[in-house]
Amino acid sequence: MSTPVGIHDPISPESFAQRVDVWHERTKGTCFMNADFADTMALANEGDLVYCDPPYIDSQTILYGAQGFSVHRLFDAIANCKDRGVRVVLSIDGTKYSSRKLCDVPVPENLFEREVFLVLGRSMLKRFQMNGRSLEEHEVTDRLLLTY
């Protein structure tokens, strides 16, 4: 997570400056683009790896203002990459409520070769909603779908 949950002390300006310096070194030569995901994915070449982390279909559409996001467009872009020999990893909804609910994402048949579930721990949303109460019943997983 990029931000701690709940009340927390902000990092010092010195610590932030150190992080910026490290980030600057690690990203030298990188081209950052503000572009549609399909346009960006079309630039990938055979043997490249594309990692997709879209808004989660089950909950984040409302949270992040992603109402205009189309998972079907994303699946089309992934299929295009796969046809060109570009490997794609998609991180998307997995399970909620300690695996009692599988988030139903309409994944096209034969688009992905592998599926892996990653246990992420307790639900971030439930931490806010339940205000300190027990969260054992609210473990979540992410689903990684791989085209290779």
pLDDT band at 98 (very low <50, low <70, confident <90, very high): very low
Q: Is the pLDDT of residue 137 over 90?
A: no
Q: What is the pLDDT of residues 19-42, one digit of tens each?
A: 999 999 999 999 899 999 999 999
Distance CA 94, CA 115 (A): 10
pLDDT value, residue 69 = 80
Can you tell me the mean pLDDT for 60-74? 70
Structure tokens at 122: 């307790």
Give the global pTM.
Answer: 0.71
Structure tokens at 91: 């991180």
| Residue-range domain boundaries for the chain | 36-146
Nearest to 87 by CA among 111, 55, 118: 111
